[in-house]
Amino acid sequence: MSAARCYTVMPGPKPLPILGNSWRFALGWKPWKTKTLDITLWFLRALAGSGGAAKVAKLFGHPDLVFPFCADETARIYRREDSMPHRAVAPCLRHYKQELRKEFFGAEPGLIGVHGEPWSRFRSKVSKALIAPEAARAAVPELEYVTDDFVDRIERILNADRELPKDFLTELYKWALESVGAWALGTRLGCLTNDTEAKVIIKCIHGFFHSVPELELSAPLWRLYSTPAYKTYVDALDTFRSVCLKRLTDKGVCAQIANSSGKKVATILALDLLLVGVDTTAAAAASTMYLLANTERAQKCLQSELDAKLPTGRRMTSKDLDQLPYLKACIKEALRIKPVILGNGRCIQSDTVISGYEVPKGSHVVFPHYILSNEERYFPSPQEYVPERWLRDEMSGEHQCPKEMGIHPFASLPFGFGRRMCIGKRFAEVELQLLLAKIFHRYNVSWRYGELTYSVTPTYVPNEPLQFTMNARNNQ
């Protein structure tokens, strides 16, 4: 600490008196637009310099944000955290759970938007059913039924040119929601048959995610009166809660938790899983399809693996998925280039040194995984989609990642790290593996338009319509 530089000299935008830095996001001038936070991160990366850090101080209702642009520093901070890692609490979600709907949540705050002892206590009640590898493995048959229904739906919604409709991202949301319902709630929600309630749920999910950046980063006017974004946010959460209460069955992961810890705990977990398991998985599927559609070599390698390894005449099992390393590498590489969440964060509980600067207790450290996973120093030719870089024993030629360099384990963390890693990670991976295996085994997927651009909602999602061309393969 004695050799560290003063926190005040850490690079970052200069806050104004009283207004701080919140005015930047309120006005939305480049590079401070909440929907283009990827551009904001690159701007801060330039301010930080090689291996350094940058900060955004004085945000209304938030601790200072510190961004370490270094995988080694990320590893050091993650590895020194205690058994109850602290994330910065989302004020609007905390308000909903602990004030507005306190009579329902009470002492069971869930996993999202809380930390410390309440989070640890709730996690201990639900983690065994979610984290154990056999839990996701057991869900493969039910998830395959959902996937088959969705791939059949793809064939029905193609136009005369074999092109998917402009709203295909919404179709992916339906698939993701149906999948979460199948493994978490043990029920089919009807999303793939245009069920009215499913449409309401999807609309609420969009409303929830689109309102979060405005509520969390702009001036917190919702504390003074019910803004339109705040009303959308609350209505969405109330709808999710109602659905989870009504659709909880005696099957699925949440049923196990209901038996061991009560229906209320199971319902709150289901609510959190809906909030984090639909937009994220759909966005990951969209990006992987797009990158494979634009990389013919990778798509053919994947299809060769699928032709050789997918079973015929029977349902798939988790052991079948274990035989698809190239498929898994395709997903990892897509999440490297286009992670569904641009970064993860921790609220530090003591004064510390980060990238050579003193950082005071209470600051929120944001690990900008999107930047690190797209930097040349960690991934040669980072703009190229090269699944082979994740297959160390099979790398060759121009796609080889130097063995003495390898891949830094903290340079790409799409699911986070440690005890606060995404608790539904294994289920999300199974969903993606099944969907992409079925699609690319059945179709040659191509893209006939320009580069796909992205916005932060706060999930990192495509802007343009996902009008993939789906031509049936000869063997299908």
pTM of the model: 0.91
Name the residue with tokens 């739906």: 153
Measured distance CA(127)–CA(195) in Å, rounded: 31
Residue 444's DSSP bridge partners are: 471
In terms of C-beta density within 10 A (0-12 exposed, 13-18 middle, 19 or more buried), how is residue 149 classed?
middle
**What per-residue confidence (pLDDT) applies to 190?**
86
Write the pLDDT tens digit of every residue in 303-349.
999 999 999 889 999 999 999 999 999 999 999 999 999 998 888 88
Q: For residue 8, how far is the Cα from the chain centroid? A: 33
Tokens of 239: 């709808």
Q: Are 266 and 254 in contact (CB under 8 A)?
A: yes
Write the pLDDT tens digit of every residue in 384-438.
999 999 997 644 444 444 443 489 999 999 998 888 888 889 999 999 999 999 9
Write the pLDDT tens digit of every residue in 114-134.
777 888 889 899 988 888 888
Question: What's the CATH class of domain 1-87+342-375?
Answer: alpha beta
88 — pLDDT class (breaks 50, 70, 90): low
**What per-residue confidence (pLDDT) applies to 89?**
65
Which of 185-189, 202-206, 221-225 is predicted least confidently? 202-206
Residue type, 292: L
Q: Where along the chain do the CATH 1.10.630.10 domains lie?
A: 107-341+414-472
Tell me the mean pLDDT in the region 220-249: 86
In terms of C-beta density within 10 A (0-12 exposed, 13-18 middle, 19 or more buried), how is residue 419 classed?
middle
**What per-residue confidence (pLDDT) applies to 334?**
98
Q: Which of 114, 115, 266 is nearest to 184 (CA)?
A: 266
**What per-residue confidence (pLDDT) applies to 402?**
40
Tokens of 128: 């065994």
SS3 breakdown of the chain: % helix, strand, coil, rounded to 5? 55, 10, 35
Tell me the mean pLDDT in the region 184-204: 81
Q: Are 391 and 325 in contact (CB under 8 A)?
A: yes
SS (H, E, C) 105-132: HCCCCCCCCCCHHHHHHHHHHHHHHHHC
For residue 400, give the DSSP letter: P
| Residue 57 main-chain phi, psi, to 5 deg | -100, 160
Cβ neighbours for 213, distance < 8 A, ≥ 6 positions apart:
34, 35, 37, 456, 457, 458
475 — pLDDT class (breaks 50, 70, 90): low
**What per-residue confidence (pLDDT) applies to 395?**
45
**What per-residue confidence (pLDDT) applies to 241?**
85
DSSP for 49-76 reads: -TT-EEEE--BTTBPPEEEE--HHHHHH
Q: Which of 459, 255, 229 is nearest to 342 (CA)?
A: 459
C-alpha pair distances (Å), 73 with each of 11, 50, 357, 411: 17, 12, 12, 10
Measured distance CA(9)–CA(341) in Å, rounded: 29
Measured distance CA(310)–CA(184) in Å, rounded: 26
3-state DSSP call for residue 84? coil
Measured distance CA(139)–CA(136) in Å, rounded: 5
Residue 465's DSSP bridge partners are: none
The count of residues in the chain is 476
**For the ranges 106-110, 209-213, 214-218, 403-407, the one whose mean pLDDT is highest:** 106-110
Measured distance CA(144)–CA(83) in Å, rounded: 36
Q: Where along the chain do the CATH 3.30.43.20 domains lie?
A: 1-87+342-375
3-state DSSP call for residue 22? helix
Q: Are 12 and 46 in contact (CB under 8 A)?
A: no
CATH 3.20.20.210 assigned to 107-341+414-472: no
Write the pLDDT tens digit of every residue in 134-188.
889 999 999 999 999 999 999 999 999 999 999 999 899 999 999 999 999 888 8
Q: Are 282 and 173 in contact (CB under 8 A)?
A: yes
Q: Per-residue pLDDT for 444 more than 50?
A: yes
C-alpha pair distances (Å), 32 with each of 13, 22, 24: 10, 10, 6
